[in-house]
């Protein structure tokens, strides 16, 4: 090959004098700075001719410089430079021969190019210690330039290095003479005159090596000790274009020959991915390295898998490794119980597909997808920890988990606590994704129930969103807290949860507040699931009385009362005012409940002896008309029976006929007292049909003679004539029955006992004779027992006094007319 040269010397300073290729004159002229002294030599300093190398455009320039022979001016020099194209530099067979030719060209008359035809001689003997030091400096991270003190031997060492290094590294061997730090050209090694050595930092000054060459230095100098490294480089197809490439080759060789570990295997694959060629032998080496890494899968840690995320595998057959990574992620995510920060980083990287390599993103995501199906709770726990520690990654993590259909599992596995900022950020992201359960669960982990509810209301707007978010936001609330929140907030979704709480904790119904409309909503929902709940509502009578006093007309209040059966107003004192308040839709049912309650009170004897307001009276009469209730009352509570027939039912001749038929059909005998009262009612109201039916019944049942006796004058001649013959004398009420009726009546009329309205003393009794023990009922029972025994006032006196006070009382009238107390 031909190498062109150029000569430089004094010419208006220092300039190009001649070059062997006119087309290179521009490059040669611009390279004049390389051929001049590198700086100003101090006065009196002697320096020897020297070699220098540098890069000018696309040429490697080898320069030899000596003091000028044509000028005696200080600092003037003569130089000869060889220009080798960089792309042909590795083809120069012998750099030392080229250097010798350049040096000799100072005296050459022909000024011809250099034709390289000689084959370089193999080096003999051991390299000089200083060569070892300079070679090590070339590939080390030492401060540059390194300094050789004095010129002696420097050029020979550098020319040896230039010849010995792998040809592709020749361009890195830049050296020069230097008088001071910072001179141009950026050589990696300089020779400094001994007089000027102190100008350079001690760390830069080279010392001869005291040990043998390292593997990479031996390889750099093409020594036998370095052949294995070079051979490995050839097998791997490393391109040694720079000293750092040799360092990487040395590291790769070290990893290749060392015992396999996960870290070593990853670094080796990374180095081969970056530096190896596509030659078949290099591909085989890469495949073997990748197989090593795959074989260590059972030793991988999260940090190892993370370190693979920027592992370029485009030039590898990476299917097996990718599948191993997917399987590892799936197993790890589904089984780890105490996740490391690296586990969280794995999920963040996979969720956001943030790794530099797509293969890693895909396989990590697929691994988490597999784990999500097999162990949703474990992946959910990892996700919560990840989002709590990296709030900035909430969006991508939730997006990824949403794709894996894992948001429900994430919601169900919410942590006990979360920092409020994290929870609120997560709730906002969840809301944007319509994951309302997750939104509520996050807020529940950070806030008290009331605050969590307030935050939900800021985000959820539709009813379905509210229902789902509130359910999870209040998941940790106690039943009592749910009820308190429902009453305070009056939100339908909270009310539904409160109702469920009352169903599970029935004792909470004891807190029912008649003044709260929400409690009526709760009652309705509870009763739908547990019908017995209505019976547990406290203070029913007083509660209904209070809502009537408040003028409550709301369907929200009356609908639950009616549907649960609580709208039985039979014992509510201000019941009469309710009928104008109860909404029309519920009035019929309320009337029915109240009438049923009132009729039931007849059977237990607790019905009040007072007339019924309308429309209740009409409803009660309908019930009585179609039942045998009054027959039972007549037997068990004769006084109450007499009061009912006079105040409530019957109200017509026809109804009275029905009553007589009901009494006739009863299995029990009609007592004479109630019978006489019916007869009196028929007579006073002149009910001919009822009188006729009584006469008919008396023909076969003597118990109806007492009825007929009182209403004979209402009957027709043909009905009454036979009865006159049968009756003969007045029908008598049995004494025990009369005294029972008298006691019950006095107890109702004078509930305070014998001193009530001073009836005892007004009837001739002495209050000092009374015993004051017990209530009014007990006192009357004791006193009348004495009267019947002949002690105290006479019974006739007591009857007369009570008739003066209550002359219209039908029971007292019957007792007076029957003379049964005499």
pLDDT digits (tens, 9 = 90+) for 443-452: 999 999 999 9
Range in 371-375, 470-474, 566-570, 729-733 with the lowest mean pLDDT? 729-733
327-355 average pLDDT score: 91
Q: How far is CA 396 from CA 306, 440, 555, in A?
A: 18, 19, 49
Residue 404 above 60 pLDDT? yes
- Coil/strand/helix, residue 17: strand
| Dist CA 622 CA 90 (whole Å) | 123
Residue pair 19/111 in contact (Cβ under 8 Å)? The answer is no
Q: What is the pLDDT of residues 86-132, one digit of tens each?
A: 999 999 999 999 999 999 999 887 889 999 876 666 665 678 899 99
Q: For residue range 237-250, what is the model confidence (pLDDT) as tens digits?
A: 988 888 888 889 89
pLDDT at 9: 94
β-strand partners of 114: 3
Instruction: Give the integer Cα–Cα distance in Å for 135 and 783.
Output: 136
Q: What is the mean pLDDT of residues 384-399?
A: 94
DSSP state of 79: E
Please return the burial class of 259, using the count of CB atoms within 10 Å of its CB with bins 0-12, 13-18 and 19+. Answer: exposed
Residue 185 has pLDDT above 80, yes or no: no
Where do the structural domains in the chain lie, given as residue ranges?
Answer: 1-211, 584-717, 735-818
The whole-number average pLDDT for the span 12-16 is 89
pLDDT digits (tens, 9 = 90+) for 25-80: 999 999 999 999 988 888 888 899 999 999 999 999 999 999 998 888 888 999 99
pLDDT at 730: 47
Indicate the DSSP class of residue 788: H
Residue 146 reports pLDDT greater than 60: yes
Residue 721 has pLDDT above 70, yes or no: no
With contact defined as beta carbons under 8 Å apart, do 707 and 737 qualify? Answer: no
pLDDT given at position 466: 92
The mean pLDDT value for 209-233 works out to 88
Q: What is the DSSP string of 385-429?
A: HHHHH-GGGHHHHHHHHHHTT-HHHHHHT--S---HHHHHHHHHH
Local confidence band at 729 (pLDDT 50, 70, 90 cut-offs): very low
**How sure is the predictor about 668, in pLDDT bands with cuts at 50, 70 and 90?**
confident
| Kind and range of the H or E run holding 651 | none
Residue 17 has pLDDT above 50, yes or no: yes
SS3 category, 64: strand
Residue 28 contacts residue 19 (beta carbons within 8 Å): yes
Among candidate residues 88, 96, 92, the one with its CA nearest the CA of residue 115? 92
Specify the pLDDT at position 369: 94
Q: What does the alpha-carbon distance between residue 104 and residue 121 come to, in Å, rounded to a whole number?
A: 20
- Distance between CA atoms of 481 and 449, rounded to whole angstroms? 8
């Amino acid at each position: 090959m031909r190498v062109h040269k150029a000569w430089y010397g004094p010419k208006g300073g220092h300039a190009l004098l001649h070059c062997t290729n006119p087309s290179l004159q521009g490059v040669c002229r611009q390279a004049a700075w390389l051929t001049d002294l590198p700086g100003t030599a101090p006065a009196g300093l002697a320096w020897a001719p020297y070699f220098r190398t540098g890069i000018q455009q696309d040429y490697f320039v080898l320069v030899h410089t000596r003091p000028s022979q044509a000028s005696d001016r200080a600092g003037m020099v003569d130089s000869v430079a060889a220009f080798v194209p960089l792309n042909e530099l590795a083809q120069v067979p012998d750099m030392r021969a080229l250097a010798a030719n350049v040096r000799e060209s100072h005296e050459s008359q022909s000024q011809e190019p250099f034709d390289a035809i000689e084959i370089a001689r193999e080096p003999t003997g051991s390299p000089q210690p200083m060569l070892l030091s300079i070679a090590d400096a070339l590939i080390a991270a030492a401060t540059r330039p390194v300094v050789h003190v004095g010129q002696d031997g420097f050029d020979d060492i550098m020319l040896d290095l230039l010849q010995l290094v792998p040809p592709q590294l020749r361009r890195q061997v830049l050296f020069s003479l230097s008088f001071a730090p910072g001179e141009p050209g950026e050589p990696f090694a300089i020779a400094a005159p001994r007089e000027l050595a102190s100008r350079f930092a001690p760390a830069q000054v080279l010392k001869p090596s005291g040990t043998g060459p390292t593997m990479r230095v031996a390889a750099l100098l093409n020594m036998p000790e370095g052949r294995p490294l070079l051979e490995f480089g050839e097998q791997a197809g490393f391109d040694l274009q720079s000293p750092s490439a040799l360092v990487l080759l040395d590291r790769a060789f070290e990893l290749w020959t060392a015992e396999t570990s996960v870290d070593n295997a990853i670094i080796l694959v990374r180095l081969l991915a970056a530096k190896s060629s596509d030659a078949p032998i290099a591909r085989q080496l890469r495949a073997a390295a990748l197989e090593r890494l795959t074989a260590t899968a059972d030793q991988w840690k999260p940090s190892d898998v993370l370190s693979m995320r920027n592992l370029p595998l485009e030039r590898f057959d990476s299917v097996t490794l990718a599948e191993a990574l997917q399987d590892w992620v799936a197993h790890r995510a589904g089984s780890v119980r105490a996740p490391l920060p690296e586990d969280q980083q794995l999920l963040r990287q996979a969720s956001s597909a943030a790794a530099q390599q797509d293969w890693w993103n895909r396989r990590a995501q697929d691994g988490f997808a597999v784990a999500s199906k097999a162990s949703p709770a474990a992946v959910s726990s990892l996700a919560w920890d990840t989002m709590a520690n990296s709030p900035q990654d909430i969006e991508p993590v939730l997006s990824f988990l949403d794709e894996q259909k894992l948001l429900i599992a994430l919601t169900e596995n919410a942590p006990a606590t979360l920092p409020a900022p994290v929870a609120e950020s997560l709730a906002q992201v969840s809301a944007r994704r319509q994951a309302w359960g997750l939104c509520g669960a996050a807020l529940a982990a950070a806030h008290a129930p009331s605050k969590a509810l307030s935050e939900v209301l800021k985000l959820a707007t539709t009813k379905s969103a509210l229902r789902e978010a509130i359910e999870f936001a209040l998941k940790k609330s106690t039943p009592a807290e749910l009820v308190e929140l429902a009453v305070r907030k009056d939100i339908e979704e909270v009310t539904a949860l409160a109702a469920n709480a009352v169903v599970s904790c029935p004792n909470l119904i004891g807190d029912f507040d008649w003044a709260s409309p929400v409690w009526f909503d709760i009652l309705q929902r509870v009763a739908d699931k547990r019908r017995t709940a209505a019976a547990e509502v406290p203070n029913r009578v007083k509660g209904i009385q209070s809502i009537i006093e408040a003028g409550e007309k709301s369907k929200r209040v009356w609908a639950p009362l009616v549907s649960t059966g609580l709208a039985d107003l039979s014992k509510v004192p201000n019941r009469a005012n309710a009928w104008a308040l109860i909404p029309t839709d519920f009035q019929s049912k309320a009337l029915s409940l109240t009438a049923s309650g009132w009729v039931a009170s007849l059977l237990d004897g607790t019905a009040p002896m007072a007339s019924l307001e309308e429309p209740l009276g009409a409803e009660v009469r309908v019930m009585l008309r179609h039942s045998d209730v009054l027959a039972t009352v007549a037997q068990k509570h004769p006084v109450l029976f007499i009061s009912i027939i006079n105040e409530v039912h019957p109200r017509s001749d026809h109804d009275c006929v029905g009553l007589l038929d009901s009494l006739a059909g009863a299995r029990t005998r009609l007592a004479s007292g109630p019978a006489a009262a019916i007869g009196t009612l028929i007579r006073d109201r002149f009910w001919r049909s009822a009188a006729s039916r009584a006469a008919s019944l008396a023909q076969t049942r003597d118990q109806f003679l007492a009825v007929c006796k009182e209403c004979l004058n209402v009957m027709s001649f043909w009905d009454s004539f036979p009865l006159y013959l049968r009756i003969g004398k007045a029908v008598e009420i049995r004494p025990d029955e009369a005294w029972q009726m008298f006691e019950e009546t006095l107890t109702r009329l004078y509930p305070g006992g014998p001193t009530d309205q001073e009836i005892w003393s007004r009837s001739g009794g002495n209050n000092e004779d009374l015993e004051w023990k017990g209530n009014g009922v007990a006192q009357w029972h004791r006193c009348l027992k004495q009267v019947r025994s002949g002690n105290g006032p006479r019974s006739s006196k007591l009857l007369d006094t009570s008739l003066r006070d209550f002359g219209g009382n039908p029971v007292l009238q019957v007792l007076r007319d029957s003379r049964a107390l005499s």
